[in-house]
Amino acid sequence: DTGVSQDPRHKITKRGQNVTFRCDPISEHNRLYWYRQTLGQGPEFLTYFQNEAQLEKSRLLSDRFSAERPKGSFSTLEIQRTEQGDSAMYLCASRNRVSGELFFGEGSRLTVL
């Protein structure tokens, strides 16, 4: 257990529905990242928060995706009007300083039918 928790661990939804994932990072970590991982691939960067500020979004993050970190603690990732191509593992990670280890959660696996 790295101390980063994600919820839910698994989500099955029908195409067109909205889904939301939550991440609780390690409490003293001010930097939070979301990654997406598809089968057989390495994690791909989606977005990054420093405290409550979203400082970067990947071009992978279409306008159907939105992420928030309202109080600089937990974060949510929402996918609207899900598509089958959104099926993946969504990983959250946190770090507390520049160039330090990223601690990953166990991920939220999304299956879109």
Q: Rule CB under 8 A: which residues touch another protein?
A: 2, 4, 33, 35, 40-45, 48, 50, 55-56, 60, 91, 93, 98-99, 101-107, 109
Which residue, 16, 4, 9, is CA-closest to 113? 16
Pairing of the two strands 53-57 and 44-50? antiparallel
Residue 7 beta carbon to another protein: minimum distance, rounded to whole angstroms: 13
* Alpha-carbon span 76 to 60, nearest angstrom: 17
Output 42 or 85, the one with its CB closest to another protein.
42
Residue 60 beta carbon to another protein: minimum distance, rounded to whole angstroms: 8
Output 12 or 16, the one with its CB closest to another protein.
12
Whether 96 contacts 29, CB under 8 Å: yes
Output 56 or 83, the one with its CB closest to another protein.
56
Residue 111 beta carbon to another protein: minimum distance, rounded to whole angstroms: 13
What are the strands, taking DSSP E only, across 1-113? 5-7, 10-13, 19-24, 31-37, 44-50, 53-57, 65-68, 75-79, 88-95, 103-104, 108-112
Residue 23 beta carbon to another protein: minimum distance, rounded to whole angstroms: 11
